[in-house]
Amino acid sequence: MRSAIWVSLLAAVVSAADEPEYETYDYIVVGSGPGGGPLAANLARAGYSTLLVEAGDDHGSLSVYNELSNFNVAGNDERSRWDFFVKHSDDPERELKYERLTAATLGGCAMHNAGVCSLPSADEWNWIAEITGDATWESDNMRKYLIQTEKNLYMPEGSEGHGWMSISTSDSSWAASGDWPANSILAELAELTDQDPEQVADLVNKDILTPGEDHLSSFYNMAQHGDARGRRSSPNNYIKATLADEANYPLTLALNTLVTKVLFDEDAETPTAIGTTTRFYARREVIVSGGAFNSPQILKLSGIGPAAELEEFDIPVVVDLPGVGENLGDNYEGSVVALGQAPTGGSRITGFWPGFPDDYGANQYSCAMVHTNPKSQAGSVRLVSADPQDAPDVNFRFFEHEGDQDLLELVEAANLLRESWQVAGDEVLPYDEMHPCPGTSAGNCTIAEQADMIKHQAYSHHATSTCAIGADDDVNAVLDSKFRVRGVKNLRATEEIVADAVKADEASEPKPKCKRHIK
Q: How far apart are CA 265 and CA 219, in angstroms?
A: 54
The response to whether 475 counts as a known ligand-binding position is no
Best CA proximity match to 380, nearest among 470, 451, 314, 476: 476
116 belongs to an annotated ligand binding site: yes
The strand pairing partners of 23, in sequence order, are 280
- Whether residue 370 is annotated as binding a ligand: the answer is no
Q: Are 81 and 175 in contact (CB under 8 A)?
A: no
CA dist list (Å): 39 to 137, 169, 208, 219, 501: 18, 25, 25, 32, 7
Question: What is the arrangement of strands in the sheet containing 272-273, beginning at the earlier edge strand?
Answer: 5-10, 257-265, 272-273
User: CA-to-CA distance for 312 and 307, rounded, in angstroms?
Assistant: 9
Answer yes or no: is 104 a known binding residue.
no
**Number of other CB atoms surrounding residue 122 within 10 Å:** 16
Contact indicator for 289, 493 with CB cutoff of 8 Å: yes
One-letter amino acid for residue 410 of the chain? L
The Cα–Cα gap between 383 and 392 comes to 5
Q: How many helices (H) and strands (E) does the chain have?
A: 14, 19
Query: What CA–CA distance (Å, rounded) separates 64 from 71?
Result: 7
Q: Which residues pair with 87 in a beta bridge?
A: 395
Residue 223, annotated ligand binder?
no
Nearest to 118 by CA among 232, 224, 206, 229: 224
- Residues sharing a CB contact under 8 Å with residue 37, sequence separation 6 or more, in sequence order: 31, 52, 106, 107, 108, 110, 235, 236, 238, 239, 500
How many other CB atoms are there within 10 angstroms of residue 297's CB atom? 28
Backbone angles phi, psi at 87, to 5 degrees: -110, 155
Binding-site residues sit at 113-116, 259
Binding-site residues for FAD sit at 113-116, 259
